[in-house]
Amino acid sequence: MPGTETSAGSTAEQLAHARPAVERWLTWSGLIPLPVFLVLHLARELSLAFATDVAAVLRPPPSLVATVTGWLLVWAPLAAHVGLAAWLTLSARQRWSPAGDVAATPRLLSRLTAVLSLIFLAYHARAYALPVWLGTADARDAGFRLLSELSSTRFGAPLAAAAYLFGLLATITHAALGVHRGLLAEGFLSQPARRRASARACAAGGVACFCVGAAAVIRVASGLILR
């Protein structure tokens, strides 16, 4: 019945809004800015991976607007998301669980991929963003350094490229699960049909993002770029 569904949806939203503020901040810090950045970043990296001109690999220095936007839309939400998650974990607080939450296995997978993706992002930042901030590397050379790293081999195998693929998979898995659970926690998926649609959309989006990112990594690691 329409009236019953509307009432159930309103109740779900009211319960979601009654959650502790720290949990809502954790949800919203990772619900919009970081997944959007991930999609845009992967699309850009794919376009650069198919460059045929060295000028496309030599990246322009970041403008003031790009730097401020990066801090506001990427680093600040990421720091808030990681900090809030760490605080909730260390405080051993009983987390609020929405009605119809995902099963125990996806919840465990979300926590595991959170750790793995944090390690991957920390390594990525240390290798590329941090040297630029410290003035020990030029931002314009990031493409060449990435090309050198991913196309390198150890013991005859492209271990760096494999590690990037694994880190990319963990990051995208955590993002896809996080968006679905965030929408669920905020009360937007009160009906089973909406939950199913969200789960399928997030899964399809995650697969698409991984395919885009993997194509870029494989293209660069193969050594075909700029040949």
Which pLDDT belongs to residue 63?
Answer: 75
More confident position, 115 or 11:
115
Q: Residue 118 falls within a domain, yes or no?
A: yes
How much is the average pLDDT of 93-100? 58
Q: Residue 206 falls within a domain, yes or no?
A: yes
- Total domain count, the chain: 1
Asked whether residue 7 carries a pLDDT value surpassing 70, the answer given is no
Q: Residue 23 falls within a domain, yes or no?
A: yes
The pLDDT tens digits for 74-85 are 888 888 888 888
C-alpha pair distances (Å), 200 with each of 138, 179, 195, 197, 205: 41, 12, 9, 5, 8
Residues contacting residue 182 through CB under 8 Å, at least 6 positions apart: 27, 28, 30, 31
Range of the domain at 68: 17-221
Q: Residue 9 falls within a domain, yes or no?
A: no
CATH of residue 43? 1.20.1300
